[in-house]
Structure 1
Amino acid sequence: MPPYALIDRPSPFASEPADALPVWAVTAEAIEAGTIDAAALAWARAAGFQAAEGTVLMVPGQDGKLAGALFGLGSDGQCYPFVSGKLARSLPEGNWRLENSPVSGQSMALGFGMGAYRFERYKKPAAQGPRLVLPEAVDAAAVHRTVAAVALARDLVNMPANDMGPDALETAFRGLADHYKAKVTVVTGDDLISKGFPMIHAVGRAAVQAPRLLEMRWGKKGAPKLTLVGKGVCFDTGGLDIKPATAMLNMKKDMGGAANVIALAMMIMDAGLPVDLRVLVPAVENSISASAFRPGDVLTSRKGLTVQIDNTDAEGRLVLADALTYACEDDPSLLIDMATLTGAARVALGPDLPPFYTDDEALAGALATASVEVADPLWRMPLFKPYEADVKARIADLTNAPAGGFAGSITAALFLKRFVTAETSWAHFDIFAWSPKDKPHAPMGGEAQGIRALFEVISKRHPA
């Protein structure tokens, strides 16, 4: 079982099924045709239960105690893939089991597990919620692993910056590595300059907590090399080009890329996939002080390319550039980076559909297929070559903030591409890492995006 202790919460699944009450997951057609338990059907009809999607009706027994619950799937079972997350917030405490659901048991279990998530670190915890007995046909290890990883990503994003700065992010990184016996090395503070990470240092040097590059290695040498890079900006004021208050309010989530690659690494290590895994997280705060980098500065990157700073609020691509250059020095078979990089991505596709960029057609196809198969929305966006001119600067090789404001997510991806070797299979994910409203399987707050689809692709390429 994966380390629920790492996310400081018990499993939402029951290990003792003997006392579990039934949940009849039914469509409107099943109620009309009368194809469910007779007593539950009689109660449903008496109560006027229409099996609308996500609705719950408690079913009493003859002794007045609960005998089970009815859960609506709408018409023809064409419901939201993880609508079962509503069960985790609607059923009373106790053990429950699914009965005759027309929806995949794997989806129902995942929805329940992800929907059970609560972030209660700073308030009195609610009462213990319901626990679900996993159906026999379900891959229990996969469900446990996925639910724990999603919760880990959400926890890391939800933590406020006073408790999740670079120091705490390093602690979480080391804790995961220790559990899976991975090796961690960290380059901190001024050592970033001497060891060739000047842009990571420049972005983070104004903060009280020193900037750093976190590196984790796990797996077998000689196996296919898989490298994950995550943007770890633990708080983003915007720097000297300071954000307005409304835009700064949620910037604890600017390390959402790091949170997601850490969670993906957890899934890979827990599954024991035969890869040589490397995880890189540049962890910084983009703060304001006398030592902050300035608009108009020109920074020299690890790769040797110079970058003109036209906006200090376009800092994420700077720390990623040094990390991607370092990643490519090891010639990975596959390189993935994830970052809460641009507001332009949200303007284009909204908060729930992250764009990804790659020139690897096979990888793009696999990601698109996996996205649909595991209901983890992704959408490919183009590395549109004519826009490369927009990334050029007047007095340096590149600008970190092209003028005009057009195609912001694309130009950010094209900027990063300059730091990836041409022969490397690479994909960049511009994620939001946040759910702005409650969903059946996800409360408002930090969110895991793309990692289930990525794990599907990686595990099919390298089965355990």
Structure 2
Amino acid sequence: MTQFSDLIKADNNQPAHMIQIVDAGSFETWLAAQPDRVWAVIAAQKFSGKGYEHAIVPGESAGDWSVVAGVANHAELGAWCLAKLAEVLPEGHYRLADAQAGPAMLGWLTAQYRFDRYRKDDAASGPRILLTGEVAKIDAAVRLAQAVALVRDLVNTPAADMGPPQLEEAARKVADEFGATLTVTKGDALEQGFPMIHAVGRAADKAFAPRLIELRWGDPSHPRLAIVGKGICFDSGGLDIKPSSAMRLMKKDMGGAAHALALARLIMGSGLAVRLHMLIPAAENAVGGSAFRPGDILRSRKGLTVEIGNTDAEGRLVLGDALALAGEDEPELIIDYATLTGAARVAVGPDLPALFTNDDALAAEMEEAGKAADDPCWRLPLWDGYAEMLKSDIADINNAGEGGFAGAITAALFLKRFVPENAKWMHLDTFAWRPSPRPGRPKGGEALGLRSVFHLLQRRYGGAAQK
């Protein structure tokens, strides 16, 4: 993992290049105060003060130079304002001239993320180190960047190297780091206690056997919080097999698990006052002689019987068993992440996780948290009128809605059947992938909906250290 702690340091007046921040409103005033030689180099570099633009300004002596950079709002830097600079500036030390980095520390860090497990980038330059007087904010920024990088690393790793055992190992590493307890259920115990998780994963090679991964941490007297993440490490579609084009990115189908684990890491690293229960149902939806079939009836942990209308609607099955267990502890809040439906992407695109919740106040909190963290979600209706689309003639419920309408909503309604009626619950149908790069956000695995949920949890549970 990228060593983010090396990229932001306390400013002790070390030698560094200055970064002057301007926006469209302040650029002309700044330029008017510069000598003629600066006018010339600014014009030559076609710098106009727009966001993500920058220019190098020579100083009085050789090797003495500074940077002028454009942002949307000079008075309030957002998360990604400095990201482009951290991607393109020469290696070295930098400090802001008359601004505080604040949230922009995140973009400075994540812009220097590299996924180099399989290929080293020999052309990559050395680190760009930001010096800041906001020393108290450094650790939190580094933790957030580490969580984002954890999601990216897990999602970017191909399924051959990120099956259920490797996902378990990633969870164990996080648990050991923070003194949490890790429990793994597989084999006969999984089949008996979590039959839908077992059914989805039973056709995979024995080396990639399905399992339920549970992490528990915190003071038992604190409010209980359950986080569930879909851990389908590869999704062939099962016997309702996907076309090759749709299968190409299915290494990312454990993106919900990656978000859940990264959120758990943030919670524990920040010492939030919760009793945390994280659950990852991990399986590979493979094709084989023992694969579950269209038309099969599965029994669930909750006791509901589920008719299989489509084996490619497997994520909701493993989540159903995990949500049922999460609800047994009567948590104050249940959150689940899943790369669940293509319908959500049609509705809100790749950048916005579709948010479903059974609590309007919680939805309002999430909207506010998304704005504050620059990590928005978009609420879709948990419309009970569509529940009839999941009716079965011979079982309690069907796992796939008929007709193809409202796919993200019917998937959320399926999950709702496994959540206790009195529990506050929210479900994030996230893409976990960025199809094209942006400053600080490379193409590939991405944390979408992670920072907003953490911001919400900080507001609810921050301020009390764990015993």
Shorter-chain-normalised TM-score: which range?
Answer: over 0.9
In 1, Cα distance between equivalents of 2:109 and 2:4 = 11
- 8 A contact 1:24–1:36 mirrored in 2: no
- 8 A contact 1:109–1:134 mirrored in 2: no
Partner of 1:266 in structure 2?
265
The correspondence of residues 237-276 of structure 1 with structure 2, limited to 5 A, is 237-276=236-275
Amino acid at match of 2:170: A
In 2, Cα distance between equivalents of 1:91 and 1:110 = 17
Local SS of the residue matching 1:190: helix
Amino acid at match of 1:454: V
Alignment pair present for 1:303 and 2:302: yes
- Please say which of residues 182-191 and 270-279 is displaced more in the overlay: 182-191
Local SS of the residue matching 2:212: strand
Local SS of the residue matching 2:385: helix
- Please say which of residues 281-290 and 354-363 is displaced more in the overlay: 354-363
- Please say which of residues 437-446 and 39-48 is displaced more in the overlay: 39-48
Query: Structure 1 residues 144, 43: CA separation in 2 closer, same or farther (over 3 Å shift)?
Result: farther
Partner of 2:28 in structure 1?
32
- Please say which of residues 448-457 and 243-252 is displaced more in the overlay: 448-457
Alignment pair present for 1:199 and 2:193: no
- 8 A contact 2:412–2:427 mirrored in 1: yes
Partner of 1:391 in structure 2?
390
Alignment pair present for 1:23 and 2:15: no
How far the C-alpha of 1:166 sits from its partner, in A, is 0.6
In 2, Cα distance between equivalents of 1:318 and 1:238 = 13
- 8 A contact 2:38–2:58 mirrored in 1: no
Alignment pair present for 1:189 and 2:183: no
- 8 A contact 1:12–1:130 mirrored in 2: no
How far the C-alpha of 1:253 sits from its partner, in A, is 0.3
Query: Structure 1 residues 270, 80: CA separation in 2 closer, same or farther (over 3 Å shift)?
Result: closer
Amino acid at match of 2:349: G
Amino acid at match of 1:188: K
How far the C-alpha of 1:11 sits from its partner, in A, is 3.1
In 2, Cα distance between equivalents of 1:79 and 1:332 = 37
- Please say which of residues 184-193 and 61-70 is displaced more in the overlay: 61-70
Local SS of the residue matching 2:159: coil
- 8 A contact 1:214–1:283 mirrored in 2: yes
Local SS of the residue matching 1:167: helix
Partner of 2:156 in structure 1?
158
How far the C-alpha of 1:59 sits from its partner, in A, is 2.2
- What per-residue deviation string (whole Å, max 9, x for no partner) do you get for residues 72-110 of structure 1? 125877987513211111111111112224xx6222211
In 2, Cα distance between equivalents of 1:169 and 1:8 = 19
Local SS of the residue matching 2:318: helix
- For normalisation by structure 2, the TM-score amounts to 0.93
- 8 A contact 2:93–2:130 mirrored in 1: yes
In 1, Cα distance between equivalents of 2:354 and 2:378 = 5
In 1, Cα distance between equivalents of 2:105 and 2:40 = 26
Local SS of the residue matching 1:59: strand
Q: Percent identity?
A: 49
Question: Structure 1: which 5+ runs fail to align?
Answer: 1-6
Amino acid at match of 2:7: F
How far the C-alpha of 1:457 sits from its partner, in A, is 1.0
How far the C-alpha of 1:19 sits from its partner, in A, is 2.2
Query: Structure 1 residues 334, 141: CA separation in 2 closer, same or farther (over 3 Å shift)?
Result: same
- What per-residue deviation string (whole Å, max 9, x for no partner) do you get for residues 299-336 of structure 1? 00001111111111000000000000000000001100
Amino acid at match of 1:201: H
How far the C-alpha of 1:46 sits from its partner, in A, is 4.6
- What per-residue deviation string (whole Å, max 9, x for no partner) do you get for residues 22-74 of structure 1? 11121233231127974695465453421221012122233331422111125
- 8 A contact 1:336–1:426 mirrored in 2: yes
- 8 A contact 1:28–1:51 mirrored in 2: yes
Local SS of the residue matching 2:325: helix
- 8 A contact 1:309–1:399 mirrored in 2: yes
- 8 A contact 1:34–1:41 mirrored in 2: no
Query: Structure 1 residues 14, 386: CA separation in 2 closer, same or farther (over 3 Å shift)?
Result: closer
Partner of 1:289 in structure 2?
288
Partner of 1:332 in structure 2?
331
In 2, Cα distance between equivalents of 1:265 and 1:44 = 48
Local SS of the residue matching 1:97: strand
Amino acid at match of 1:299: L
- What per-residue deviation string (whole Å, max 9, x for no partner) do you get for residues 234-263 of structure 1? 100001111101100000000000000111
Query: Structure 1 residues 36, 259: CA separation in 2 closer, same or farther (over 3 Å shift)?
Result: farther
Partner of 1:3 in structure 2?
none
Partner of 2:210 in structure 1?
211
- How many residue pairs match? The answer is 455
The correspondence of residues 453-464 of structure 1 with structure 2, limited to 5 A, is 453-464=452-463
Partner of 1:111 in structure 2?
107
- 8 A contact 1:23–1:98 mirrored in 2: yes
In 1, Cα distance between equivalents of 2:447 and 2:136 = 22
| Root-mean-square deviation over aligned CA pairs | 1.9
Amino acid at match of 1:26: V
